[in-house]
Amino acid sequence: MTTKRKRSPADPHQVLADLRRLYGQRKWTQRRKPLDELIYTVLSQHTSDTNTDRTFASLKSRFPAWRTVQNASPEEVAEAIKLGGLSRVQAPRIQAILDVIEADRGDLDLAFLERIPMADARGWLTALPGVGPKTAACVLLFSFGLPAMPVATHVHRVSKRLGFIAEKLPADKAHPVIESLVDPNDVYQFH
């Protein structure tokens, strides 16, 4: 009978150095505007990047302004996002998110998130309907360049294999652990 030997965890700083050597230094550039990133990431839940891209494009084509999504019927929004699957769940969720943002902020602008402490921004985002730590981290990292680590399925799996997190640590609890492995200025490159 063979026993499985536990490997020592990888050194995150060495992994970061290897990534830089292989792929070069990655500089942050805004991927999407914050509200676009938020809705895009909601649409990405439980589907592939290809489906998400097509679904987001379909939604923006049908409804060029977020206000028109907010004021449409859930059925119209569901029809626009049906390519990604789960449209009957995501359509009312997206509309609820837009409604909560407007009720709380008086408009649909998320630029204020960059001016408040990251923990407060993360808390505000995760208080939105259907927004968890990964979605919040995507908005903070990709729209604002803040050192939030989105832990999607692939990041979670690789982090376990490298020994960065415990094997049984769920993805929603892994964000702060993985964020703490490198300097905040390196989180984007590390992701």
Distance set, CA 3 to CA 6, 71 (Å): 9, 60
Q: Is 134 labeled as catalytic in the residue annotation?
A: yes
Residue 181, classified by CB atoms within 10 Å of its CB into exposed (0-12), middle (13-18) or buried (19+), is buried
The catalytic position among 27, 33, 134, 160 is 134
Q: CA–CA separation, 16 vs 52, rounded Å?
A: 28
Q: Taking CA 35 as the corner, what is the angle to CA 30 and CA 36, rounded to the nearest 5 degrees?
A: 65
Contact 188, 28 (CB under 8 A): yes
Q: In 3D, which of 26, 24, 21 has the Cα closest to residue 186?
A: 26
Contact 38, 97 (CB under 8 A): yes
Amino acid letter at 129?
Answer: P
Helices (H), strands (E): how many in the chain? 12, 0
What is the set of active-site residues?
134
